[in-house]
Structure 1
């Protein structure tokens, strides 16, 4: 308050100044804090990362049991909706967590090599550390680490760049250059490359793990129209061609079954056999006693006594 004899407010207390832009040091400090959190904590459950660890198409790390728990929840569950909001990177180019992860095929298990512990108290409190199996460099905040799809082995980024042959150094499984996924990327070029990879895989009906996406068979049926436009679709037969094809198939089956090569003779023979079989059925029905017992061959005549009316009943007219 002011002008009440108690205190006089200053200009700094009455006028709000515009927020100052963050300095380079402050931006780096914020990125370091975010990297330390992302390398040690699962963004879905806020629990420490523990093997098995998986990653989505954006390079974000999760606990595998957290992903399974998320997928098992109902879509109407409030906790699942909250997980979608806080799940990892929210970059507009890479989409939200709910868009990236819709099943276990959308994540890849990252296989880290564990750094050996000395058994000291400090090592126990910090938990397990990961390192590159080739250089021995620690993989964590501040390091440019990558993993390879589909095997999931993690290395230092410099090691993969220096290797000319595109084969995993741990399991010798081949991979494409586009399948090198940076872990928790911060550079704009890495984010743009991951975004382009996600769009390419979606067009090919593939998931992040390079497996068939659910519902890809249905899309193929709808894709026949586009295939026809490109000239790759199979030519369709007309009604006359289909009819001729059926007649040829019938002729071939008749020849195979009856051993008759002439189609006219074969069709006539087939008709005769059908008529003969029909006559045999009728003859058997006529000879069957059980069927004959259902029908009474005697003529039924109504008795005169029952049919007489009340005037003539019990009275007989004499003859002249």
Structure 2
């Protein structure tokens, strides 16, 4: 049972047992979630945005994804719920004064603290490295630790002073249960917004239909009332009775003879008009030309009268 060279193998070298479960380094997992973009896997750099599920992204990576969703990119499933730039919120982060940058240990001759983060909580001073829960406000985008919001209870943002509600608090990089709760909350919010848009459209359509009905109803009496009424002459006005039985004027009930409605009277035939007034109209005898005054030829630009 020996191998070449007289070596004797042991049992674990010949019998294959079950594979050991590979354990993920917790420090590496925290650094990947809090220091790198969830979509492009690049280092987080300003401007940094967060979605409604609490994931961190670089804003330029989200814009590139929205401009061309058909391009082949890794980890696109983490951004499926992002429909537009309005579905993400730009974060208002507080810089960590102890952060020396990415090249603080370029020579490799000093201790590198992996838990030192770029950003901190402006109220408590905790570093945003994944060991403590952090959240942001959907109203203004300011980021705080959960301890700060729990200990200092207020309805006004600690940093910018904008009012907010408890439903506006989104946990960053939460657990699976917290992500599921945020997803249900997001679905409910979008369903309500969709229902509100439908109700607004239906109300607008009803208002338009009502206005059209009102216009049609108002047009029908106008057409009947806008018909030209024949002008009553002096002789006809005298024939109408002055007052009705109740004392009111009954001029509207006067009926004109058919001969007056169908015939047109000439001004020249009116007896009460003076000759000077009648001469103002073209129907007067002075306005008519005689045969001697009319021309019997046609010119291009006639200047005769």
Corresponding pairs, count:
219
TM-score (normalised: structure 1): 0.55
Match of 1:55 among 50, 60, 79: 50
> Which residue of structure 2 aligns with residue 195 of structure 1?
183
Matched, 1:220 2:198: yes
Q: 1:16 to 1:168 in 2, by over 3 A?
A: same
| Cα pair 1:43 1:62 within 8 Å, conserved | yes
Cα shift readout 1:275-319 (whole Å, capped 9, x = no counterpart): xxxxxxxxxxxxxxxxxxxxxxxxxxxxxxxxxxxxxxxxxxxxx
| Unpaired segments ≥5 residues, structure 1 | 85-95, 206-215, 228-232, 266-320
| Cα pair 1:32 1:141 within 8 Å, conserved | no
Matches within 5 A, 1:7-18: 10-18=10-18
Match of 1:105 among 54, 77, 86: 86
CA RMSD between the two structures: 4.3
Q: 1:21 to 1:11 in 2, by over 3 A?
A: same
Q: Which has the larger radius of gyration?
A: 2
> Which residue of structure 2 aligns with residue 114 of structure 1?
95
Q: How far off its partner does 1:64 sit?
A: 0.6
| Cα pair 2:34 2:128 within 8 Å, conserved | no
TM-score (normalised: structure 2): 0.57
Matched, 1:157 2:146: yes
3-state SS in 2 of match to 1:100: coil
Cα shift readout 1:186-228 (whole Å, capped 9, x = no counterpart): 3x542332122122122123xxxxxxxxxx499617996xx9x
| Unpaired segments ≥5 residues, structure 2 | 107-111, 230-251, 253-305
Q: 1:117 to 1:136 in 2, by over 3 A?
A: same
> Which residue of structure 1 aligns with residue 40 of structure 2?
45
Q: How far off its partner does 1:65 sit?
A: 0.8
